[in-house]
Structure 1
Amino acid sequence: MYLLFEEAGAFKTGIERTATDASIQVELPSGRRVKVKTANVLLRFREPNPAQLLTEAEALAETLDIDFLWEVSPEETISFETLAEAYFGKQASAVERAAMLLKLHSAPIYFHRKGKGLFRKAPPEILQAALAGLEKKRKRQAQIDAWRTELLAGKIPPEWAPLLDQLLYAPDRNQIETQALEAAATERNTTPTRLLIDLGAVASTHDYHFGRFARELLPEEAAPPHWDEALATAWSSLPQADAPAFSIDDHTTTEIDDAFSVRRRADGGWRVGVHIAAPALSIADGTELDRWARERLSTIYMPGHKITMLPPSAIAPHTLAENQWVPALSLYFDLAPSLALERTETQLERVFIAANLRLNALEPHFNEQTLSDGLPEPFPWRDELKLLWDVATVFEAGRGKSSVQNGIVDFLFYVDWAITTEDGPGFVTLVPRPRGAPLDKLVSEWAIATNVRWGEWLRAHDVAGIYRGQPPGEKVRMSIHAEPHEGLGAPCYLWATSPLRRYVDLANQRQLLATLGHGEPLPADRLAELIPAFETRYAQYQEWQRHMERYWALRWLRQERVETTTALVQRENWVRLESAPLAVKVPSLPLLASGTRVRIAIETVDLVDLDLKVRYVATV
């Protein structure tokens, strides 16, 4: 006797060998014997043989009309054999009975199982809802298949245009667009992101990375508020500074926050002015411009791109551009002939900016070598710069801390968008610049001296400020308390010299102006509210700057077709390239001491994942 039985949700056939009331020993077509519960046996038959029954029944089941079976079935529970006899006749064969079982079992939306071999047809309303769901699923899959075919043909479906940003940066796997994209990417043996980029979803890999930054960190696009020129009418009443000033910046700087003036006193001493742009004079707390700046909190820097904290209309009247009178908050340092500091004085005034000096033009004349030679060649502002340098060294010695870390090479990035390379618009130039150059130290020391003294001034006037402190043994932190800064060797340190570029400096400038009688200072709790948001956003901006610097460094390797380069071992199998600001893991690197110079071969440069694969070549 042959048996059809159910085991673990599957139908199987075999030959009955021995039986008890509770179980039967069955030999499967493969020859293996299994023990089957008697209750699991659904059909006993003599022909065809067990190996043929399911094959023939499956073929016959495909011909059965499930809609017709549902129509003719009674409302009550019915067995598959009873329905088979009603459909095929009383003498229905084992194949026909098994075919009915398989058909009913395979259509759960038409027939609900009510026991072993027992079924009950679904109520009409439930069936219609289930069929509608199936049709929706069918159409959904048909759309996925159509989009997948379109993607594989090299075309992005035009109706995806509004969704491309989401598909690139925040795909939802429940969306059929994402499912179609993933299916096409799998078939192409790539990732969904790479497939979209290859198909032109973004103009270049640069746009892909910048788009992620914009989505995550930039406020929604809105028309910037306009700076009201009427606010400048009160500037004419400000006193005029008695010495011309000059700034020192990179040639790409447009928000010029600070400038210097130097005047020789009759007694042989000096009066040095540090002049800071004064946007807080006309951008009051709570105004539209203030809210715009507070939402951004800082100017955002990255190679080839800059997003300013203030809109251009507000930068133009305040930046310390040459050949014009501008309002400034000035801190004057009165120095004895010995360069000893005698006193400081804060003034709100108008300053004439005589020159915007640029680092690339200055450094050939003002560097370690020319300083050691006594600056023998004349150049504009030579004597003033020499005095500023001499005092800066006095400031540094007085603090006992260096303002810049020597021995490190930084890279300046310059992107020419007028040139297009094989990787898209933008030709990048990397300019190595040793950290700790004299001009860096000069600017840093005077900024520190100014921020320290203004911090002390606010504290002396009992006016709140936002400070950066570092108590002994702790990390640097921002607070409204004037704490010592161990890393700088300073009694306290205020951020107040970049009000065009950092919101904290703008807020602190309002506090400084209030001590001079211009407006009311904000209470400490209002300032404290700024700190968490600023620290978070500022760290995010810096991380994205590093991200985009890595991108452009990798672009430079491809642009210049660098095949091998030198690098310095940092630790274990990590090295840092000497030709570009890139650290990379070298699996093939032998065990070498930190600082060892090696030559590595560039194998692959990935501009999507920003990955670099290299191979050790030799120790130099």
Structure 2
Amino acid sequence: MFMHSVQIGALVVFRQEPARVIRVGERWEIELASGEVQRVRPKDVVVLHPGPLQDFKELQKPASGDLQGAWQILTGMTTTLAELSELAFGAYTPQTAWEVWKNVMEGKFFKGTPEAIQVLSEKEVKEKEEQERARQKAEEEWQAFLFRINQKLYVEQDVRYLKEIEQFACGLMKRSRALQDLKRAETPENAHQLLLEVGYWKETYNPYPRRFQVPLQVPVYPLPGLPEEPRKDLTHLLSFAIDDAGSEVPDDAISFDEGRIWVHIADPAALILPDTQADREARARGESLHLPEGTVHMLSEDAISKFGLGKQEISPALSIGICLSPSGEIQNVEIVPSRVRVSRLTYQNAEVLMDAPLFSEIEKWLGFHREARLRHGAVELDLPEVRVKVDEHQKVEIQPVLSLRSRRMVEEAMLLAGTAIAQWCIERNVPVPFTIQEAPEQRVSGDTLADMYAMRRWMKRSQYRSAPAEHAGLGLKFYVQGTSPLRRYLDLVVHQQIRSFLRGEKLLSEQDILERIGEVEVLLPSLRQAEILSEKHWTLVYLLQNPHWSGMAQVVDLRPSGVVVLIPELAWETTLPSSHGLVKNQPVKVECVDVNLPRLEAHFRLLP
């Protein structure tokens, strides 16, 4: 409108506010009602009237006319700003033009541009009115919700809003309107705190598996029966699967026969072949998810039932037979599909049998292997470790993981098996995912808790690679994780490769292995975070369930920010305010004085 003949004083709209033109050119200068002057492009404004607008006060005076009557006359038609102003107010002036345009911007009766204003039909107006009433009702309900939330209350009709906050707390939404309107910082922790305050979440609600979007349903798929194939009969051997009490997935067992250590491993690769449905499902999960409230298995219940060692009287296995020299070097490796008769023991049950001839002999030979690893620079850290478990009543139990001979025997046997598998695959050019770890930048001598705490900080992260390399932390020239194919996908890949080689079938290529490593490495950070933060969450719930908990701690570091202590009963690290006179490795007694569940923080104080 008048774009090519705009004069000084013309009335325009800029960002829905009135302004008048004070200079024209390539860019116009306009003055706002506040007195502010802006330089704008002509396309940034809407011209309402050629002017001149002498004073903005003119626009504030009520215009005498009948705009609704004009709407009734023109219903369903198209008109212009000038014509509508004339009809409604009897004159087209800056004042009447602005009055009409305010109604156009409101959109109740009119919409469009100054050159083409559409006059809404009666039906359209009624729809607009209904929409406005609905908007006002929704706003009233929203404000009532905010009021109740500020009172730390909610009613049934508020659940729809609380679900949105819950989604934000679980990382499923990027913004939270509720937190914005409540003037709270938009963080998952603040959303978590709000849901606790109003009682929508209980303290026992664990948001971290949802926040990291890890699978929480057990996979379900059909598996055929075991194929007919030759298996070495090792049922005459005394074979033991030794695990923590309550373990549901016995995927390894050990035995000894005429100088040969046997490590029997569950054999799911007998049925789960590369790129089958079960394989793709396992690959999409990466590993089993271990939470204090339970385990979400990587494989189906059917697979665990079929292949878990000791689940049946005779179990199918992939058995690794290893002969060692007294210097701990591997002299011979045999890998065969087998049938084994496995007895299941807990570590505590096995501990009382450690001086019996069988376990004593196994421990002796495994000791040679451990000594060889230590000579090659293996790092052994004995830091506090616990098992956090939650029962069906949401009661938390924390049990220490005891440093038992039986546990060390099994751990060493699994390291030996991993080394033997790596050597066997290297000798036969079988591509597998190797586990490597670079040497630490610095070594800390000593075996105190403070020494081991300091040493852990220098350890490099282990990595998967398609080519063999040193695992410095274990003191091994090469190493493959292959003893948990029921729980770790890349262990399953190792077994698939060994099985394919033994059957004379085509192997996955090194590129195939790299692709599988890449897929799993994308998944592992979320799995680890879900597990670690879930354990922290339930440890804090335990402290809430046991108010004023107190116990012994040990000083492991002295920093400007305070004294770092480890609490063995909780496997918890915390920093106490600086306290003069404390030294490393000094035992102290501490008491929990505060728990912040959303921030995963617990605060302790020193007791006399």
Question: What's the counterpart of residue 419 of structure 2?
Answer: 452
| 1:431 is the counterpart of 2:430 | no
Question: What's the counterpart of residue 320 of structure 1?
Answer: 309
Q: Alignment identity in percent?
A: 21
Aligned partner of 1:582 among 564, 572, 578: 572
- Deviation track 1:89-147 (CA, whole Å, cap 9, x = no partner) reads xxxxxxxx999798557545279xxxxxxx96961258998997786466334324325
Question: What's the counterpart of residue 330 of structure 1?
Answer: 319
1:390 is displaced (CA, Å) by: 1.7
Question: What's the counterpart of residue 217 of structure 1?
Answer: 214
Q: Is the 8 A contact 1:75 1:121 kept in 2?
A: yes
Alignment of 1:37-52 (within 5 A): 41-42=54-55
Q: Is the 8 A contact 2:500 2:507 kept in 1?
A: yes
Tell me the SS of whatever aligns to 2:319: strand
1:226 is displaced (CA, Å) by: 1.9
321 and 202 in structure 1: CA distance in 2 versus 1, 3 angstrom threshold? farther
Tell me the SS of whatever aligns to 2:105: coil
Aligned partner of 1:350 among 336, 339, 344: 339
Q: Is the 8 A contact 1:428 1:555 kept in 2?
A: yes
1:311 is displaced (CA, Å) by: 0.4
1:389 is displaced (CA, Å) by: 1.9
1:527 is displaced (CA, Å) by: 1.4
1:192 is displaced (CA, Å) by: 4.8
Question: What's the counterpart of residue 391 of structure 1?
Answer: 365
1:410 is displaced (CA, Å) by: 0.7
Gaps in structure 2 of 5+ consecutive residues: 1-10, 20-34, 38-50, 108-112, 441-459
Question: What's the counterpart of residue 286 of structure 1?
Answer: 275
1:77 is displaced (CA, Å) by: 6.0
Aligned partner of 1:226 among 219, 222, 228: 222
Q: Which letter does structure 2 place at the counterpart of 1:602?
A: C
1:404 and 1:299 mapped to 2: Cα distance? 27
Q: Which letter does structure 2 place at the counterpart of 1:408?
A: L
Alignment of 1:430-579 (within 5 A): 430-433=398-401, 437-470=404-437, 476-517=462-503, 519-562=505-548, 564-567=550-553, 568=555, 570=557, 571-573=559-561, 575-578=564-567, 579=569
Q: Which letter does structure 1 place at the counterpart of 2:358?
A: E
- Deviation track 1:578-620 (CA, whole Å, cap 9, x = no partner) reads 14233345567679655555555534323334233x26446x6
Q: Which letter does structure 2 place at the counterpart of 1:610?
A: L
Alignment of 1:176-215 (within 5 A): 179=177, 183=181, 192-196=191-195, 205-213=204-212
156 and 234 in structure 1: CA distance in 2 versus 1, 3 angstrom threshold? farther
180 and 76 in structure 1: CA distance in 2 versus 1, 3 angstrom threshold? same
Gaps in structure 1 of 5+ consecutive residues: 13-32, 46-52, 88-96, 112-118, 366-378, 420-425
Q: Is the 8 A contact 2:434 2:479 kept in 1?
A: yes
Question: What's the counterpart of residue 4 of structure 2?
Answer: none
- Deviation track 1:394-425 (CA, whole Å, cap 9, x = no partner) reads 111112257673441111112221x3xxxxxx
Question: What's the counterpart of residue 416 of structure 1?
Answer: 391
| 1:275 is the counterpart of 2:268 | no
Q: Is the 8 A contact 1:185 1:195 kept in 2?
A: no
- Deviation track 1:210-268 (CA, whole Å, cap 9, x = no partner) reads 4334xx1228x68611222x325547x643444121121111212111111123x4xxx
Under a length normalisation based on structure 1, what TM-score does the superposition of the two structures give?
0.70
1:142 and 1:532 mapped to 2: Cα distance? 52
- Deviation track 1:252-291 (CA, whole Å, cap 9, x = no partner) reads 212111111123x4xxxx2321111111112222222222
Tell me the SS of whatever aligns to 2:295: strand
2:571 and 2:223 mapped to 1: Cα distance? 39
352 and 68 in structure 1: CA distance in 2 versus 1, 3 angstrom threshold? same
Q: Which letter does structure 2 place at the counterpart of 1:528?
A: L
1:491 is displaced (CA, Å) by: 2.0
Q: How many residues of Structure 1 are paired with residues of Structure 2 in the alignment?
A: 526
1:141 and 1:595 mapped to 2: Cα distance? 65
1:207 and 1:485 mapped to 2: Cα distance? 35
Max Rg structure: 1
Tell me the SS of whatever aligns to 2:306: coil
1:551 and 1:447 mapped to 2: Cα distance? 31
Question: What's the counterpart of residue 43 of structure 2?
Answer: none
535 and 41 in structure 1: CA distance in 2 versus 1, 3 angstrom threshold? same
Question: What's the counterpart of residue 154 of structure 2?
Answer: 154
Tell me the SS of whatever aligns to 1:447: helix
43 and 305 in structure 1: CA distance in 2 versus 1, 3 angstrom threshold? closer
1:476 and 1:34 mapped to 2: Cα distance? 63
1:564 and 1:274 mapped to 2: Cα distance? 43
1:427 is displaced (CA, Å) by: 1.1
Q: Is the 8 A contact 1:83 1:100 kept in 2?
A: no
Compare 521-530 and 594-603 and name the one that shifted more: 594-603
| 1:246 is the counterpart of 2:240 | yes
444 and 121 in structure 1: CA distance in 2 versus 1, 3 angstrom threshold? same
2:404 and 2:241 mapped to 1: Cα distance? 17
1:540 is displaced (CA, Å) by: 2.2
1:407 and 1:223 mapped to 2: Cα distance? 35
- Deviation track 1:24-43 (CA, whole Å, cap 9, x = no partner) reads xxxxxxxxx999xx976428
1:442 is displaced (CA, Å) by: 1.5
1:99 and 1:141 mapped to 2: Cα distance? 30
Q: Is the 8 A contact 2:171 2:211 kept in 1?
A: no
387 and 292 in structure 1: CA distance in 2 versus 1, 3 angstrom threshold? same
1:43 and 1:336 mapped to 2: Cα distance? 100
Compare 251-260 and 478-487 and name the one that shifted more: 478-487
Q: Which letter does structure 1 place at the counterpart of 2:467?
A: H
234 and 192 in structure 1: CA distance in 2 versus 1, 3 angstrom threshold? same
131 and 402 in structure 1: CA distance in 2 versus 1, 3 angstrom threshold? farther
Q: Which letter does structure 1 place at the counterpart of 2:254?
A: F
1:134 and 1:518 mapped to 2: Cα distance? 77
- Deviation track 1:529-575 (CA, whole Å, cap 9, x = no partner) reads 10111123223212211101100110110111125555436444363
Tell me the SS of whatever aligns to 1:324: coil
Compare 333-342 and 283-292 and name the one that shifted more: 333-342
2:81 and 2:581 mapped to 1: Cα distance? 77
1:76 is displaced (CA, Å) by: 6.3
Q: Is the 8 A contact 1:205 1:607 kept in 2?
A: no
540 and 209 in structure 1: CA distance in 2 versus 1, 3 angstrom threshold? closer
Q: Which letter does structure 2 place at the counterpart of 1:258?
A: D
Under a length normalisation based on structure 2, what TM-score does the superposition of the two structures give?
0.72
1:65 and 1:596 mapped to 2: Cα distance? 88
2:223 and 2:99 mapped to 1: Cα distance? 77
2:521 and 2:97 mapped to 1: Cα distance? 69
Q: Is the 8 A contact 2:66 2:89 kept in 1?
A: no
Question: What's the counterpart of residue 592 of structure 2?
Answer: 602
- Deviation track 1:181-231 (CA, whole Å, cap 9, x = no partner) reads 864797xxx955544556665676425344334xx1228x68611222x32
319 and 137 in structure 1: CA distance in 2 versus 1, 3 angstrom threshold? same
Q: Is the 8 A contact 2:324 2:365 kept in 1?
A: no
Structure number with greater CO (CA < 8 Å, separation at least 6) is 2
Tell me the SS of whatever aligns to 1:409: coil
Q: Which letter does structure 1 place at the counterpart of 2:396?
A: V
